[in-house]
Amino acid sequence: MNQEARQRAWRLLEESVVTYRGEPVGTVAAHDPETEALNYDQVFTRDFAISAFAFLLDGRPEIVRHFLTAAVRLQSHERQLDCFKPGEGLIPASFKVTGDGADEQLTGDFGEHAIARVAPVDSGFWWLLMLQAYVHVTDDRAFLSQASVQQAIRLVLDLSMTSRFDMFPTMLVPDGSFMIDRRMGVYGYPIDIQAQFFAALCAASNLLDADEPANAPYRAALDERLPHLAHHVRTYYWLDLERLNQIYRYGMEEYGPAAVNKFNIHPDAIPDWLMDWLPETGGYLLGNVGPGRLDYRYFAQGNLLACAAGLATEAQTAALMQLIAQRYDDLIGQVPLKLCFPALEGQDWRLLTGCDPKNRPWSYHNGGNWPVLLWLLALVGLRTGADELVERALSDAERRLVQDDWPEYYDGRRGRLVGQQARRRQTWSAAGYLVACQLLERPERIELLHLGRSVEGASCAMPV
Ligand code: GLC
């Protein structure tokens, strides 16, 4: 590990800290002096989560506690029948501090000010993961048992677990409701959301106070949901050569509980690239599973988080790391690591992104490389003994990150070019790198983040 790179990353992180009434409360998304700030001068929940992990592992929990409190205060608290206001329990995508001195105010953005008004489904999940890591590192039970904190947990669960039009244990969401916050065909049941949902539900079941009577129905609902969710993802999202061959030979139009082809998948929809690309050994979790639909794209955050949180089985985790090692150029690349593979091109790009120029093929969310994901690669890699792969990825990353001043993302099939519209001095690029270094230096720190728990999959996930 390069000490100079680490020092620079810490400096960037420290310079990005925002204060509210004299206390540190978060980090801005980016600090690029050459580009218009737009909303990158705000504290994003998902971006701050990675900073929070870096601060916690460095023994600096205060900023995390202040952030957690600010998010509780901003959480939407009124049951809404107003279609223009956020639903009760939503944690903002980002917030900013306005005014001076005693007049300072926190103002949250629930998507109203984001491009195309996308609501952040993932914010509540990141909030739970940060809370869990904070409590685990500090043992601050007094903070956790505050009525407002326990209530905030229940509100996130109300919003994400209540049945509406769902037929599966997975969570139904609109397009672009998480890190990929633009239209990318990631609506329905995207793996990134399912992995976060699972990790967050595990966190909630660890964090809900067992002595609080109001928590009892939530704890029971979690105990029931988690095994079903685990079984569903492990069974229907998993893809390796054997499973691909089953899908290839599927029968069609089967009804009822005996159906083998449960989602009525048509083998003709298997994309050409996959047949030769999938190695003999190794596998991954599909990008999306729903009626008549398998999205065969590989998404790094969902796959790695599923492994980190124990949603993927141990065998699946080992197989994912085999796939990553065998397809290193595609999935890690020159500056790690690929967010989504392969890119949507041609007619797929036109239809699924709506001709989005920022997401043209092999750029940004659509096949760009994102250094922020290094922390997850390190976490899963070190757990499975892939230390060499992690070290290689980190040393490639640090060289370019320092040289290019911490870009938000890289473009190209192998991630060689600084992203076309990437900001420099992007906080989570530095934080993702730092957490990876912290874990590599002392792998026992992985347990401090306390992601997930062991959940046995239920034997039948879909009652009919
Ligand atoms: C972009 C990313 C989003 C991130 C935000 C701030 O909108 O798509 O994931 O949270 O920038 O960095």
Tell me the per-residue pLDDT of 296-329, one tens digit each, with 9 for 90 and over. Answer: 999 999 999 999 999 999 999 999 999 999 999 9
Cβ–ligand 1 distance for 411 under 6 Å, the answer no
Query: Is the bond preceding 337 in cis, omega lying within 30 degrees of 0?
Result: yes
Q: Kindly report the protein residue whose alpha carbon is nearest to atom 2 of ligand 1.
A: 179
Closest atom of ligand 1 to CA, residue 115: 7
Q: Which of 95, 117, 181 to mutate to test the pocket of ligand 1 (most atoms within 8 A of CB)?
A: 181
Cα 426 to ligand 1 centre (Å): 10
Under 8 Å between Cβ of 340 and 300? yes
Cα 181 to ligand 1 centre (Å): 7
Cβ–ligand 1 distance for 122 under 6 Å, the answer no
Give the mean pLDDT of 85-92. Answer: 92
- pLDDT tier for residue 105 given thresholds of 50, 70 and 90: very high
Cα 420 to ligand 1 centre (Å): 15
Cβ–ligand 1 distance for 44 under 6 Å, the answer yes
To which H or E segment does residue 262 belong? Answer: none
Return mean pLDDT, the chain.
95
Report how far apart, in Å, the C-alpha atoms of 14 and of each of 33, 295, 312, 373, 431 are.
Answer: 16, 39, 35, 20, 10
Q: Say which range, 15-19, 137-141, 398-402, 446-450, has the weakest mean pLDDT.
A: 446-450
Considering only residues 78 and 217, tell me which one the structure prediction assigns the higher pLDDT.
217
Give the mean pLDDT of 94-98. Answer: 96
* Percentage of the residues of the chain whose pLDDT score is greater than 90: 87
Closest atom of ligand 1 to CA, residue 47: 10
Q: Which pLDDT tens digit goes with each residue over 158-210?
A: 999 998 888 899 999 999 999 999 999 999 999 999 999 999 999 999 999 99
Cβ–ligand 1 distance for 181 under 6 Å, the answer yes
Under 8 Å between Cβ of 437 and 6? yes
3-state secondary structure 381-445: HHHCCCHHHHHHHHHHHHHHHHHHCCCCCEECCCCCEECCCCCCCEHHHHHHHHHHHHHHHCHHH
The answer to whether the predicted template modeling score (pTM) of the entire model surpasses 0.85 is yes
Cα 118 to ligand 1 centre (Å): 12
pLDDT higher than 70, residue 335? yes
Closest atom of ligand 1 to CA, residue 408: 12
Q: What is the dihedral of CA 411, 271, 380, 40, to 10 degrees?
A: 40
Q: Which pLDDT tens digit goes with each residue over 133-162?
A: 999 999 999 999 999 999 999 999 999 999
- Round to whole Å and give the CA distance between 138 and 408: 31
Cβ–ligand 1 distance for 186 under 6 Å, the answer no
Cβ–ligand 1 distance for 47 under 6 Å, the answer yes
Q: Kindly report the protein residue whose alpha carbon is nearest to atom 7 of ligand 1.
A: 181
Closest atom of ligand 1 to CA, residue 114: 7
- Round to whole Å and give the CA distance between 331 and 367: 10
* Residue 90 confidence (pLDDT): 95
Cβ–ligand 1 distance for 29 under 6 Å, the answer yes
* Residue 464 confidence (pLDDT): 36
Give the mean pLDDT of 369-378. Answer: 98
Cα 373 to ligand 1 centre (Å): 13
* Residue 462 confidence (pLDDT): 54
Cα 116 to ligand 1 centre (Å): 13
Q: Tell me the two tokens of residue 92.
A: 């903002």
- pLDDT tier for residue 102 given thresholds of 50, 70 and 90: confident
